């Protein structure tokens, strides 16, 4: 069975499932700490999303390459060492690219190491699948995570400061909802997006059920 699964071809769905059907934030509710903490601006959300994607792709790629070499008794310890190394790499890289972004993200870059989404992907996917499929899956999940962070970041920055990416959107008469930039704002906006996702999913399910009924009646 496992061997059969490994032979499954890489399709567009391998990439897209991480963005929509298995979105780590909106569907699986993983990695909530950075999702709530660093999405107060679009720029921070994008930087955090890209940093996490980099760590996810590199570490799951390496786990996939070493999957036959790592004994299962020490697999979690090995994954953590691999993830921590890439987090250190990204930590220094961001410092070298922009000190402003580094200061804005603060300790949350180092905390990527504790993001359960990455460990989850390494354990559930990368340790069982070949490199190509793992990389495509990691890119999809990373894109889904970045997209979710951006969804929160843009809404919070727009309502909390009247800006997107530092560019003023609303007129001066707009009174910013400061609470949106504060931690409670993260919860409110996340709840809003989760409601939207649940509603879309329910509507899809209802349509599918109605379609099935119609086919059955037709017979």
Partner 1 sequence: MSEAAQSQQVAPTPTSSLRLIGTLGVIALFAGLLVVSVVEWTRPIIAENHERALQQAVFDVIPGATQRRDFVLTDEGPVPKEDAQERGPIIHAGYTEDGALAGVALEASGRGYADVIRILYGYDPSCACIVGMSVLESQETPGLGDRIETDPDFLGSIEGLDASLNEDGTGLKHGIRTVDPGEREDPGDIDGITGATVSAEAIGDMLHRSADERLPQLQGHWSELERNE
Binding region for partner 1 (CB under 8 A): 40, 66, 69-74, 77-78, 81-82, 84-86, 88-89, 92-93, 95-96, 98-99, 103, 106, 160-161, 176, 178, 181-182
If the CB atoms of residues 33 and 89 are measured against partner 1, the closer one turns out to be 89
CB of 96 to partner 1, least distance (A): 4
The size of the chain, in residues, is: 219
* Whole-angstrom distance, CA of residue 157 vs CA of residue 211: 41
DSSP 106-155: GGGTGGGGG-HHHHHHIIIIITTS-HHHHHHHHHHHHHHHHHHHHHHHHH
CA distances from 116 to 9, 79, 172, 211 (A): 27, 12, 41, 38
Separation CA 19–CA 76 (nearest Å): 26
CB of 59 to partner 1, least distance (A): 11
Q: Which of 54, 11, 20, 13 is nearest to 144 (CA)?
A: 20
Q: Are 152 and 26 in contact (CB under 8 A)?
A: no
Helical (H) or strand (E) element with 191: helix 183-218
Q: Which is nearer to partner 1, 89 or 210 (CB)?
A: 89
- Give 4 or 72: the residue with its C-beta nearer to partner 1: 72
For partner 1, give the closer residue by CB, 95 or 168.
Answer: 95
Our CB check for partner 1 shows the closer of 73 and 217 to be 73
Alpha-carbon distance of 17 to 57, in angstroms, equals 16
Least CB distance to partner 1 at residue 86 (A): 8
Distance of closest approach, residue 38 Cβ to partner 1, in angstroms? 11
Least distance in angstroms from the C-beta of 88 to partner 1:
5
Q: How far is the CB of 113 from partner 1 (least distance, A)?
A: 12
C-beta closer to partner 1: residue 106 or 211: 106
């Amino acid at each position: 069975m496992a061997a059969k699964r490994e032979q499954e071809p890489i399709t567009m769905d391998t990439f897209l499932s991480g963005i929509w059907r298995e979105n780590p934030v909106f569907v699986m509710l993983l990695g909530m700490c950075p999702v709530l903490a660093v999405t107060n601006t679009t720029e921070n959300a994008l930087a955090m999303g890209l940093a996490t994607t980099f760590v996810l792709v590199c570490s799951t790629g390496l786990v996939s390459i070493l999957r036959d070499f790592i004994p299962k008794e020490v697999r979690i310890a090995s994954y953590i060492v691999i993830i921590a190394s890439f987090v250190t790499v990204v930590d220094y890289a961001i410092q070298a690219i922009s000190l402003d972004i580094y200061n804005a993200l603060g300790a949350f870059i180092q905390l990527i190491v504790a993001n359960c989404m990455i460990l989850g992907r390494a354990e559930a996917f990368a340790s069982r699948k070949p490199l190509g499929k793992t990389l495509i899956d990691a890119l999809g999940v990373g894109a889904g995570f970045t997209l979710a962070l951006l969804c929160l970041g843009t809404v919070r920055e727009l309502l909390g400061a009247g800006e997107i990416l530092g560019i003023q959107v609303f007129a001066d008469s707009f009174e910013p909802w400061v609470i949106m930039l504060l931690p409670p704002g993260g919860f409110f906006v996340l709840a809003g997006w989760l409601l939207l996702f649940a509603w879309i999913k329910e509507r899809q399910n209802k349509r599918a059920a109605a379609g099935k009924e119609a086919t059955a009646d037709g017979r």
